Amino acid sequence: MLTKLSIKNIALIKDLNISFRKGLNIITGETGSGKSIMINSIKAVIGDRVYREMIRTGCDSAVVEAEFLTQRTITDAVKALGIEAEYGQPLVLYREINRSGKNICKVNQSTVTAALLYEVGTILVDIHGQFDSRSLVSADTHIHVLDQFGHKKVSVLTEEYSKQLNLFKETMQQLKRYALSETELQRKIDILEYQVQEIESASLKEHEEEDLIKQKSFLANAEKILNALQSANELLFDGEFNAESMLEQSASLISSISEFKKEFGEMETTLKDMTYSLEDVKYSLMQLMDHIDFDPGQLDALSDRLEAIKSLKKKYGNNIPDILKYCKEAKEELELLKNSEDIMNRLRNRMDLQKKQLYEIATQIHVVRKETAVSLENKIAKELDDMEMKKVLFQVSVDFPDYEQVGDTTFSENGLDSVEFLISPNQGEELKPLAKIASGGELSRIMLAFKTLLSDRNKIPVMIFDEIDAGISGEAALQTGRKIYEISKNCQVICVTHMPQIACMADTHFVIRKENIEGNSFTFIQELEHENRADQLASLLDGNKITESGLAHANDMLEKAEEYKSQNIIC
């Protein structure tokens, strides 16, 4: 859950710190006091788009920081994104907005991109505003809502369907690979035959290039190498003061005094060993000099071979192993192409079998969705009835095609069902797509009905309702408040509202107010003590005025809310 929210220099907010609690957190305040600013700040810290205009006048930057306590599943999901997180430790999101255009995003002190911050935010918070219910008007989302409601029954089937669909697509791709015209097929065979012949005629060896480069380097420097060997030979063995004679003389001199001290004898032995080693060097030098033969023709041959290898590398790979691998794969493909008719027949048979298997699983999914749709219709009807939409009819249309209507590309990731929500808002009217006839207030309550039913399946720990009470009042508002309270049993809820019927259900109640200080506007937030809540509700009831009748009504609402909540204790 969201435990702490810190906002600095966002619009009217200079420095605001809020501690939210478990259950239902209600936020009220006059229009323009800063409620939407606070919600926009939360959106910013969970990765939504930000603008320089959000920064308070006279400031160069703004900062929002949010601290969450998370369950192990949430921590694991965050870690899966590559972010350090530990179960039992707070998860801290940070967003800094600068007028320069540079934004800094962090999760647990680690700098992340705005996109990654958004991914983390979607795991932690679900924000539902008065316009967010518009997602219901998109029929593309309806199948996902239905599957979420019937999760346990449908998930096993959809997982198996997904595996079979991938196999079907693989077979389809293989078939496309061989589905060539006779001209295209022959052209591809000719190209592959030429490539295989070109590579095989080169008779490449795996480490040949490295050996050739070493040989070329040696031959190109043969004169330099020979001169060095000859000079070393002269210094060691030719001339009056060569190393060989000097070692022999030194050994003889030391030998003459070796009887006087043990160390002299040891030195004589060392000098004699050096003389023997020098003889080995002499032999090696002679051998090397005899075998160095600079042949320009051999150097040219090496250069030509390396150029031939370079030419093959440009066409078939970065090195000889890559070229040989390409040749092997080309020969395999050549063999397949020459037998493409047989292969295509086998692939067509495989596709026919896979298509039937896919259709069978899709049919099973359809049956489960139809059953789920009936259950969803009944439960949504009850929820809408509670929210004073008794005359509204709600239906889930689930259409499924016959096998003859299904083409190879008809199968989607969601199966073969077409799902759409239909409503009849008034008695006697025919059912029509939700997108075409639902009003804003109806959409908000329908969305709330879905949220209520799915809250126990929703793994997101924080749900925010931002003024979804548009277009409702009276008993509908009271029932809406109760629905939001029901949702708060399964996750933390933060709700911004103007309705006292909703506000009375609060576990924790905050009031936002705006004050003018020395010509500047500031937004403040205050958590209400129990004894002050009635005053706030009375103010909402009577247009920001507190009257005796309004206060009595407010106290009555609070008593009834507590009575309702005592019968619906949060587990």
- In the predicted model, what is the mean pLDDT of residues 372-377? 93
> Is the pLDDT at 570 greater than 50, yes or no?
no
Residues 423-442 pLDDT 10s? 888 877 888 888 676 566 67
Give the DSSP H or E segment for 384.
Answer: helix 340-386
Percent of the chain with pLDDT over 90: 37
SS3 (DSSP) at 493: strand
* Across 36-50, 445-459, 512-526, 549-563, least confident range: 445-459
- Token pair of 188, please? 């591809």
* DSSP letters spanning 123-186: HHEEEEETTGGGGGG-GGGHHHHHHHHTHHHHHHHHHHHHHHHHHHHHHHHHHHHH---HHHHH
Residues 72-115 pLDDT 10s? 888 888 899 988 888 888 999 999 999 988 899 999 989 999 99
Mean residue pLDDT of the chain comes to 86
* Correct CATH for 2-130+448-566 of 1.10.260.40, 3.40.1050.10, 3.40.50.300, 3.40.50.1360: 3.40.50.300
Give the pLDDT of residue 243. Answer: 76
Give the pLDDT of residue 568. Answer: 65
Which residue would you say has higher pLDDT here, 329 or 179? 329
> Is the pLDDT at 173 greater than 80, yes or no?
yes
pTM for the model stands at: 0.64
SS3 (DSSP) at 495: strand
Axis-axis angle for helices 208-220, 222-237 (nearest 10): 60
* Across 33-42, 43-52, 169-178, 539-548, least confident range: 539-548
d(CA 96, CA 114): 11
d(CA 338, CA 194): 15
Within a 10 A sphere around the Cβ of 345, how many other Cβ atoms?
Answer: 10
Q: Is 188 exposed, middle or buried (0-12, 13-18, 19+ CB in 10 A)?
A: middle
Query: What is the Cα 448 distance to its own chain's centre?
Result: 28
Residues 497-524 pLDDT 10s? 988 999 999 999 999 988 888 778 888 9
Question: Which is it for strands 91-98 and 61-68: parallel, antiparallel or unpaired?
Answer: antiparallel
Residues 118-155 pLDDT 10s? 999 988 998 886 555 555 667 888 898 899 888 778 98
Pick from 182, 470, 524, 195: nearest CA to 331 = 195
In sequence order, the β-bridge partners of residue 18 are: 5
Axis-axis angle for helices 114-124, 72-80 (nearest 10): 160
Residues 211-251 pLDDT 10s? 888 888 877 777 787 788 787 777 777 867 777 777 777 87
d(CA 145, CA 292): 82
d(CA 288, CA 234): 14
d(CA 354, CA 339): 23
Pick from 392, 371, 411, 399: nearest CA to 147 = 371
- In the predicted model, what is the mean pLDDT of residues 189-207? 90
d(CA 364, CA 40): 44
Q: Where exactly are the structural domains of the chain?
A: 2-130+448-566
**Dihedral, 37, 42, 44, 49 alpha carbons, nearest 10:** -80
Pick from 297, 299, 285, 290: nearest CA to 219 = 299
